[in-house]
Chain A
Amino acid sequence: MTRKDAPKCECAAEPTPAAGTPDPRAARRKVLLLAAGLVLWVVVYHLLQPGTAWVACTALCGRSSNAFKESVAFFLYDVPKVLLLLTLIVFGVGVLRSFFTAERTRQVLAGKRESLGNVLAAALGIVTPFCSCSAVPLFIGFVTAGVPLGVTFSFLIAAPMINEVAVVLLFGLFGWQVAALYTGTGLVIAILAGWVIGRLHLEKWVEPWVYELTPGEAGTQTAPLTWNDRLDFGLQSVREIVGKVWPWVVVGIAVGAAIHGYVPENFMAAIMGRGAWWSVPVAVVLGIPMYSNAAGIIPVVQALLEKGAALGTVLAFMMAVIGLSLPETILLRQVLRPRLIAVFLGVVGLGIILVGYLFNALM
């Protein structure tokens, strides 16, 4: 049962709701607790900056070097801020995802025309609950149900690239502009790369047995979800996703804080600055094999940006790290010929490189 070639699954686990008939009183208590939690969240979030500044100053003012004080203040403020944002957004996304299933997404996409299909697939890729372990059955299920190959790729590119953890970290550390830029360009890459792959008509490079399979008509009888279940989905996502990424966030911000305080201004300008034309492709090539530490890499990259790295280069690096994952690619090898894998990596990689150059030129 254990397969040596099966790569470790890095995806967030799917939430598990409590089953059984919900006790209405328990459900009401849960809603009240969640509302109280939200109020507490808002209060803590607003007190965070003055609070951590005060702590950093009482502990360190006048007693240590400026660089050390700055690093500590940066760390003390950013860690709770990012974790707070992460908790709230992961909960919201968990509830939102309970409205979508891979089965319904497939129904929507089956038989769609390519251009519109690519746009829909990329958008649904963001909200459909999907973990990279399911990439293979999902791929087969999609293409055999008549979802065009390119449309399927748009889904598979958008799903990991635009995820709540990456977007929250970008929002918390870079601001909403960069988070929006990342999401927008990520969607464009997923749409266009899928469209290009569709236009190339590469069905011949899908392993032939895939098209010979006739997937069973899903005799699915899943129980309908109540609002109580959906709130449980949200809570479960928080437990699993935040529970898994928080160490990465802490370590990433610690390294970022050290860079913030100790690395000289403009240190990165020569390596990752706008002048270094080769830095964008190098960043993408380096980023592809990195995957699991996306939560840890964004704070480090943010610190590098302050030290003279160019935004386009940084954006390209993050997209390659988060969007192109080696484990998923290895899984897809079961259904795709190496040539199609190469085209997939090439088209998406090229799209990311173009985004990098575009932003280096514009900003």
Chain B
Amino acid sequence: MKITVYGPGCNKCKQAEEVVRSTVAEAGADVEVEKVSEIREIVKAGVLTTPAVAVDGVVKLAGRVPTPDEVKAWLTG
């Protein structure tokens, strides 16, 4: 499983990355977390509002910071 956080570098984007990383670490899940800040890559992923989070290439959330519960839900299913 791979989780991608999209964000050009604003505060909310850093928060989104932190929430994802800490939740994954806490759950001890075998998940690769990747942060994409390059604007072209963000657009190519079909993201309009940042921060956005994609799980295995599917955008699950855009325009806000995920909650740890949301990240847990992606990890389990």
Contacts and interface: CB of A to CB of B under 8 A. Distances in A.
B64 A217 contact: no
A234 B70 CA distance: 18
A137 B67 contact: no
B59 interface: yes
A18 interface: yes
B67 A6 contact: no
Contacts of B65: 13-14, 16
Interface size class of A (residues with CB under 8 A): 35 or more
A18 B73 CA distance: 12
Contacts of B63: 14, 101-102, 129-131, 134
A363 interface: no
A106 B63 CA distance: 14
Interface string A8-35: 1100011111111000000000000000
Contact of B73 (A3, A20, A137): A20
B47 to A, nearest CB: 6
Interface string B32-62: 0001010110111111111000100111111
Given A1-B35, A19-B69, A133-B50, A140 B58 contact: no
Contacts of B11: 8-9, 13
Contacts of B10: 6, 8-9, 131, 133
B59 A136 contact: no
- The majority secondary structure among interface residues of chain A is loop
A65 interface: no
A334 interface: yes
Contacts of B48: 102-103, 106, 134, 137-138, 141-142, 218
A137 B50 contact: yes
Nearest to A236: B64
Contact of A213 (B44, B57, B60): B44
A214 interface: yes
Contacts of A130: 49, 63
A222 interface: yes
13 contacts: A2-B9, A6-B8, A6-B10, A14-B65, A102-B49, A106-B48, A131-B12, A133-B7, A133-B13, A136-B39, A141-B48, A221-B59, A222-B59
Interface of A: 1-3, 6, 8-9, 13-20, 101-103, 106, 129-131, 133-134, 136-138, 140-142, 144, 209, 213-222, 334
